[in-house]
């Protein structure tokens, strides 16, 4: 079974994000970039499926600038077999990404697509669902457990009321939640081996996909600084301030 894993290059979660002086976007100059944490979970799940003998090949794909090869090499070091980079310097929305992934799915014909439920930069939680609509594949979102049985995959989903298990016919799409697994670290020998693994570069034009967006970012602002708290001398004063000043009771 071939597994396709989609990953995204994002600002490292340990980095404090800065907004450009002209408020046109996020300042990425000299900023550490990493693989989206939810995508790391997706790669780990694919590798575990291969270790169990369920998956025969893992193909990892990302859409972004040429520097996104760094994240692909990381995925290869973690256990993926080969990588595909759809090179684009444009700021792509979720639908454009889903269309490009659809083209890659058509090309690779995987039986299972695994991806993070959302990226920590845009936080949209849309691409997996859009890809499901475009491909017509069954989808299991917010997965905390994945079990492949024959021509079906059972996905345990995290929902508001607890857990829900759905059975999907393959091919299918799974988006990963935090509790699915704990991603491993790449060993030095595997990092060296990853440098020799195949990495194919494509373009949106070569895939026949238009990435023109109908959405325009007008302004990006940093969140307002949190004001300092105050101390009160009694419960009565606390209640009075919550009622008359904060107006929350």
pLDDT in tens, the chain (249 residues): 999 999 999 999 998 888 888 988 888 888 999 999 999 999 999 999 999 999 999 999 999 999 999 999 999 999 999 999 999 998 899 999 999 999 999 999 999 999 999 999 989 999 999 999 999 999 999 999 999 988 999 999 998 889 999 999 999 999 999 999 999 999 999 999 999 999 999 999 999 999 888 888 888 888 888 888 888 999 999 999 899 888 888
Instruction: Tell me the C-alpha distance between 43 and 59, whole Å.
Output: 10
Angle at 246 (CA atoms; ends 245, 249), nearest 5 degrees: 105
Cβ pair 191, 158 in contact under 8 A: no
pLDDT of residue 69: 96
Note the pTM of the prediction, 2 decimals. 0.86
Q: Kindly report the length of the chain.
A: 249
Compute the distance between CA of residue 140 and CA of residue 133 in angstroms, rounded to an integer.
12
Cα separation, 151 vs 168, whole angstroms:
9
How far is CA 74 from each of CA 8, 10, 31, 115, 185, rounded to the nearest angstrom? Answer: 12, 13, 18, 16, 10
Sign of the CA dihedral with 64 first, then 67, 70, and 76 last: positive
- How deeply is 192 buried, as exposed, middle or buried, from its count of CB atoms within 10 A (0-12, 13-18, 19+)? exposed
Query: Are the CB atoms for 2 and 111 separated by under 8 Å?
Result: yes
Coil, strand or helix at 215: coil
Note whether 90 and 211 are within 8 A (CB).
yes
CA distance 189 to 157: 35
- Tell me, which fold does domain 2-244 have in CATH? Rossmann fold (3.40.50)
């Amino acid at each position: 079974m071939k597994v396709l894993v989609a990953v995204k290059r994002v600002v490292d979660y340990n980095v404090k994000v800065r907004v450009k002086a002209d408020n046109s976007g996020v300042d990425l100059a000299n900023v550490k970039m990493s693989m989206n944490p939810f995508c790391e979970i997706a790669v780990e799940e694919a590798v575990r499926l291969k270790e169990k003998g369920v998956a025969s090949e893992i193909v990892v794909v990302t859409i972004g600038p040429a520097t996104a090869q760094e994240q692909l090499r990381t995925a290869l070091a973690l256990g993926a077999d080969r990588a595909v980079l759809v090179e684009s310097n444009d700021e792509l929305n979720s639908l454009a990404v889903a269309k490009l992934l659809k083209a890659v799915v058509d090309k690779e014909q995987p039986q299972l697509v695994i991806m993070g439920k959302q990226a920590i930069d845009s936080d949209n939680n849309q691409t997996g669902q859009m890809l499901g609509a475009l491909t017509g594949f069954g989808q299991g979102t917010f997965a905390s457990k994945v079990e492949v049985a024959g021509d079906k995959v059972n996905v345990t989903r995290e929902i508001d009321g607890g857990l829900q298990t759905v059975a999907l016919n393959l091919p299918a799409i799974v988006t990963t939640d935090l509790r699915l697994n704990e991603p491993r670290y790449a060993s030095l020998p595997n990092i060296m081996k990853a440098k020799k693994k195949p990495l194919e570069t494509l373009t949106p034009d070569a895939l026949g996909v238009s990435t023109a967006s109908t959405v325009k970012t007008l302004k990006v602002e940093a969140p307002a600084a949190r004001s300092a708290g105050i101390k009160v001398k009694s419960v009565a004063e606390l209640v009075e301030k919550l009622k008359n000043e904060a107006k929350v009771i």
